[in-house]
Structure 1
């Protein structure tokens, strides 16, 4: 039974590590694109359009 509780106590650390790993692998290519001036503008426009689109979709779904 002690082994079960020990594993259960380790779960929040595992979950945090998985979430940090997900965000690092997701945003690392975006940060590489932001180093180039031309790609920086295009990347920022795409990010703004995506966030605005998701916001509008969620807003319309909840009305």
Structure 2
């Protein structure tokens, strides 16, 4: 029973390291992309365009007549 509680106390640290590793692995290509100025401008334009399109779609979907 002592091993069970010992393992249970280790779980939050394991969960945090897994989540940090996931985000670092996921966003590493984006960080490499942002080193080039031309690609950075294109990336931010795409992000802003995507957010604007999603906003307009959701706004029109929720309009009531």
Do the two structures share a fold, i.e. TM-score over 0.5? yes
Give the TM bin, normalised by the shorter chain.
Answer: 0.7 to 0.9
Query: Relative contact order, CA 8 A, sep 6+: which one is greater?
Result: 1
Long gaps (5+) in structure 1: none
Contact 1:30 1:43 in 2 (8 A): no
- Aligned pair count reads 61
Larger Cα Rg: Structure 1 or Structure 2? 2
1:4 alignment partner in structure 2: 4
- What's the TM-score once normalised by structure 2's chain length? 0.71
Contact 1:33 1:39 in 2 (8 A): yes
